[in-house]
Amino acid sequence: MSLIFSPLTEDVLESPFEPIPRGAFVMLQLGDGTSKLESDMDEAVCTVLSQKKFKTIKATTKRGHKDYLEKIIQLIRGCGYGIAIFSEYTPAPTLANIFFEIALCNLLGKPVIIVKSAGASAPSDFVRTEWVSYTDGSNTQLKNDIKKSIDSIVKLANYYEKLGDIAMEAGDIDFELAFERFKQATLITNKRSTVNKISKLLRQLNSSDDCAEYIKAARARFQKSVIQFTKLYPER
């Protein structure tokens, strides 16, 4: 897998993080100045998450003693997916923060559900993105749409699990890829099957007499990346 660098320290993002199974990281305007539209959408999101037994995780959920952005990154790493909420009343600086956090979710492989008011305009790069749209007063429809979106995330987790199974069944077992798929599926659903598969993966890796043989697939992928870069690098 490609290395991911922290936007905060520019170091490789490989430090431990606290997993939050069935956690959804909710991005929105917090504190004073929150509009009624945003409050209504927030209430609907939190209600549906509770009904479906998911945890609502916000930037204010846990107190931190380090850099605020570092806390955000660690929370996103621990959650299975994100939900972004905004309206036409969301201040520009807050909207910029929300879409920065959406970008972090995408970078870390976390699917995102966007919930916005009907009158809000999404940034140009997101105009073709699907979202849940809310018209003031249509709370029942909003909750139904959010439920459908969350159901699609759960289906995605099942797909991740199958991809992990395929990686484990390959001729040269791709442990690295299998773990990433099982990990993401586990964070979304907390299914016992994927938790067990991660434990089995570790036992199998630890029992190998020749670990180099087991990471052959990862080594081949790395070699391919280096070759592609050197071949496509423009001539001087």
C-alpha angle 141-105-97 in degrees, rounded to nearest 5: 80
For residues 134 and 13, give the distance between their C-alpha atoms in angstroms, rounded to a whole number: 36
pTM for this one? 0.87
Residue in this structure with the two tokens 């993080």, named with its chain if needed: 17
Give me the phi and psi of 55, to 5 degrees please: -90, 135
Position 128 scores a pLDDT of 66
Instruction: Report how far residue 134's alpha carbon sits from residue 56's, in angstroms, rounded to the nearest whole number.
Output: 20
Separation of alpha carbons 99 and 28, rounded Å: 10
Output the pLDDT for position 144.
96
pLDDT value for 191: 92
Residue corresponding to tokens 């630890």: 206
Q: Which residues of 134-148 are buried (b: 16+ CB within 10 A; e: fewer)?
A: beeeeeeebbebbbe
- In this predicted structure, what is the pLDDT of residue 173? 82
Burial class (CB in 10 A: 0-12, 13-18, 19+), 50: exposed
Nearest to 40 by CA among 154, 150, 133, 148: 133
Beta strands in 54-199 (DSSP E): 55-57, 81-86, 112-117, 132-134
Residue 194: phi and psi, rounded to 5, are: -75, -35
In the sheet with 23-27, reading across from the earlier edge strand, the strands are: 55-57, 23-27, 81-86, 112-117, 132-134
DSSP string spanning 73-111? HHHHHHSSEEEEEE-TTS-HHHHHHHHHHHHHHHHTT--
pLDDT at site 210 = 59
Task: Give me the pLDDT at residue 30, please.
Answer: 86
Query: Whose structure tokens read 């749409």?
Result: 145
pLDDT computed for residue 92 by the predictor: 92
Q: pLDDT means per 10 residues in the chain (236 residues)?
A: 71 81 94 88 97 95 76 92 96 93 91 94 75 89 96 96 91 84 94 92 76 72 74 72
Using an 8 Å Cβ cutoff, are 30 and 58 in contact?
yes
Q: Report how far residue 111's alpha carbon sits from residue 88's, in angstroms, rounded to the nearest whole number.
A: 23
